[in-house]
Amino acid sequence: MGRVLVVEDEPAIAELIALNLRHQGFEVVVAADAEAAQAQIDRVLPDLVVLDWMLPGASGVQLARRWRADPRTREVPLIMLTARAAEADTIAGLDAGADDYLTKPFSPGELQARIRAVLRRRAPSALDLPVEAGALRLDPGSRRVSHGSGGARVELKVGPTEFRLLHVLMSHPERVHTRSQLLNRVWGDHVFIEERTVDVHVKRLREALAPAGAQGMVETVRGAGYRFVAQPGADGEGAA
């Protein structure tokens, strides 16, 4: 499951959110102010941030603006929490780049539903949902990959790194991922590995898909990177 950074200065609320999300299987890190939040973000990029508006030091809105302006953190999904309910404040929060907005007091169930909705839209691989594309199916819960339809499914043996790589690719079919994006998503942000490593694992992934004849689903996009296609082979570039 994904990693959530909770930025909240009221310990009771932070603890309630953290307990609830951990119970759902998320890895949770709590920061009590803007400085601690920035330190956490600098260390590991989370899959989602729950961000309180009123914080000591820089406010949640200031943090949201800063993260949206930085290419490294621009894409991180953000849910803002606030005691304010005025329409102008809601608009300011969304203008600062929040994906969603929750007014205190809220129920843990409501926050959970919003988190899942935002992740489904922005970072589906952070949820342990099975992903299907074409005849290929990947199930993060059982860590299984299979190909086929109905009862005629072939189980494929996919190594752990290739599994994560396939998960990221399948979560965004047709999207071109650069090698550096794949390094960040699969190996972790701040891990310094040569981009050629990606090519090595793409090659292994294709070998793992080959018994089902599905190696063409991972396409090389010349000069750009890789993409997953549900219906391979239509327009040329292929699994070269």
Binding region for Ca ion (CB under 5 A): 9, 52, 54
Q: Measured from the CB of residue 212, what is the shortest distance to Ca ion in angstroms?
A: 52
User: Which residue is closest to Ca ion by CB?
Assistant: 54
Q: Which is nearer to Ca ion, 54 or 94 (CB)?
A: 54
Q: Which is nearer to Ca ion, 17 or 169 (CB)?
A: 17
CA distances from 153 to 6, 144, 158, 230 (A): 41, 12, 15, 16
Question: Coil, strand or helix: which one is 208?
Answer: helix
Q: Measured from the CB of residue 131, what is the shortest distance to Ca ion in angstroms?
A: 36
| 236, 219 contact by CB (below 8 A) | no
Q: Which is nearer to Ca ion, 52 or 162 (CB)?
A: 52
Q: Which is nearer to Ca ion, 59 or 197 (CB)?
A: 59
Question: Coil, strand or helix: which one is 155?
Answer: strand
108-122 and 11-23 helices, crossing angle to 10°: 60
Q: Measured from the CB of residue 53, what is the shortest distance to Ca ion in angstroms?
A: 7
Q: Measured from the CB of residue 27, what is the shortest distance to Ca ion in angstroms?
A: 23
| Positive or negative: CA dihedral 186, 191, 197, 198 | positive
